[in-house]
Structure 1
């Protein structure tokens, strides 16, 4: 569903806007002395948006499952007497848009809870590692380079600092946005593995995916197993896993197009595929 993907993308955008505002409040020369404050803001922004991503993914999974099977799954957010109408209402609330509605008759219930509990320690470690690589290490390197920038005139120095800040913002926002959406993607993947009624998923890309995401989408439906538990998202990636619960499903047209492109490619390295994909999508 496009509404789900757009809502997840919007959550990453909300994080990025909040983080950009925090960075804009600090001068480049003061970044090294502001890392503690910036890390706290980075972590808080990711945590809040990732929590919303998880709520959205639970509502999405429960709705898609009910539409395919006629049954509602338990777990967080489940309310006795849930119907397709109430599940649509939950999903609409999570996306902030009215995207659908349904009847109010209560659905049969599968009481199993396949949704994972929030792993705060793991998520904290991931945020700390991301901040260190994307911000702290880069700021330290920039500080060392600044000592050798005495030969730059004022205009060159301003341009150099501006370029660094923009690069820092882009890299850290992309990596943080991935963590935000991983909050929801992890919910989907864990639920798929723990829900006996789930068959697998397919990868729904955005309108202009990179070569890697197009390749992953070309596989079509991926049926669940330990081997397929990982999704393979990356910074600035807005792909989502759409769960499937029946053999009667329809892939988006893009997946079929990427599958045909892969067959026409004929095989080779990932670098070869990247070149082929770039040339093909530009024509």
Structure 2
């Protein structure tokens, strides 16, 4: 699980680095006239990393399922004669690390394809809307507030240079956070929808990063979430690295972090989300 989570985080980080590189090539005063090109590059960067996120999630889902049930599931990436050894090899390839290995005997096959079809249009719409909110709208506001925009401020004014630098940094942070969420949602949605379509799956639990926010800690405190229409969504937010880990047997074991958050929730004793946030922050 750790290797999967780290690999998904790395994909979000790669996207963030690419977005920062894209912005570095543009002068702050040229942002308003470069939005069309920036939008194209932003969406292309999201697309590339989201595809990798989905490939990784399929390899992870198929491997976890085989380890827990002794059977391999069909769908994208399935090859006849798949074994634990070949599934580990697929996962290692997707993570870029050697994380494990297994026997080479072919596994029994469940031919059903639980993985949802890639929705390129929805992803593109979401990326375009995210760019508008996190970049284009901010640039428009920035232009309205620019000191000396009528020509009274010198381009080498130290205060203006610092102001522009801080603005570019804010665009990097906002754009990478929201875009990174779309990247990881490519994998998160793939796994969560596969759970709903796979008769062999019974639910999932939320694996958090080292120091999750109060919301993610609360969601992790729920422990196993058994699949139903009511649980057909996985909440994430910008800069969130939580992942849904599929469960195929009642003999699952939760990570220590989930158990700790559950204990913390019991000790909290109930209250509003704001009360929980205050309690969690102080604990």
Answer whether TM exceeds 0.5 for this pair: yes
The Cα shift of 1:274 comes to: 1.0
Question: Could you report, residue by residue, the CA deviation over 1:261-283 in whole angstroms, capped at 9, with x for unpaired residues?
Answer: 11111111111111111110xxx
Q: After TM superposition, where is structure 1 displaced by more than 3 Å over at least 4 residues in a row?
A: 147-153
The Cα shift of 1:216 comes to: 0.4
Partner-residue secondary structure (3-state), 1:202: strand
Partner-residue secondary structure (3-state), 2:206: strand
Residue of structure 1 equivalent to 2:69: 69
Question: Could you report, residue by residue, the CA deviation over 1:98-126 in whole angstroms, capped at 9, with x for unpaired residues?
Answer: 00000000000000000011101111110
Equivalent pairs, count: 280
Structure-2 separation of matches of 1:148 and 1:104? 69
Structure-1 separation of matches of 2:59 and 2:261? 29
**Equivalences for residues 200-219 of structure 1 within 5 A:** 200-219=203-222
Residue of structure 1 equivalent to 2:12: 12
Structure-2 separation of matches of 1:191 and 1:148? 54
Structure-2 separation of matches of 1:54 and 1:143? 37
Residue of structure 1 equivalent to 2:247: 244
The Cα shift of 1:158 comes to: 1.5
TM-score (normalizing by structure 2): 0.97
Cα contact 2:147–2:153 (8 A) shared by 1: no
Residue of structure 2 equivalent to 1:267: 270
Structure-2 separation of matches of 1:203 and 1:121? 28
Structure-1 separation of matches of 2:261 and 2:174? 28
Partner-residue secondary structure (3-state), 2:34: helix
Question: Could you report, residue by residue, the CA deviation over 1:214-244 in whole angstroms, capped at 9, with x for unpaired residues?
Answer: 0000000000011111110000000000000
Question: Could you report, residue by residue, the CA deviation over 1:246-267 in whole angstroms, capped at 9, with x for unpaired residues?
Answer: 0001000000110111111111
**Equivalences for residues 98-247 of structure 1 within 5 A:** 98-146=98-146, 154-247=157-250
* 1:57 is the counterpart of 2:57: yes
Structure-1 separation of matches of 2:148 and 2:207? 47
Structure-2 separation of matches of 1:166 and 1:276? 32
Q: Structure 1 unaligned runs (5+)?
A: none
Q: Structure 2 unaligned runs (5+)?
A: none
Structure-2 separation of matches of 1:251 and 1:259? 11
Partner-residue secondary structure (3-state), 1:125: helix
Structure-1 separation of matches of 2:279 and 2:158? 41
Residue of structure 1 equivalent to 2:38: 38
Partner-residue secondary structure (3-state), 2:234: coil
Structure-2 separation of matches of 1:32 and 1:158? 17
In angstroms, what is the RMSD of aligned CA positions?
A: 1.3
* 1:25 is the counterpart of 2:25: yes
TM-score (normalizing by structure 1): 0.97
Partner-residue secondary structure (3-state), 1:241: strand
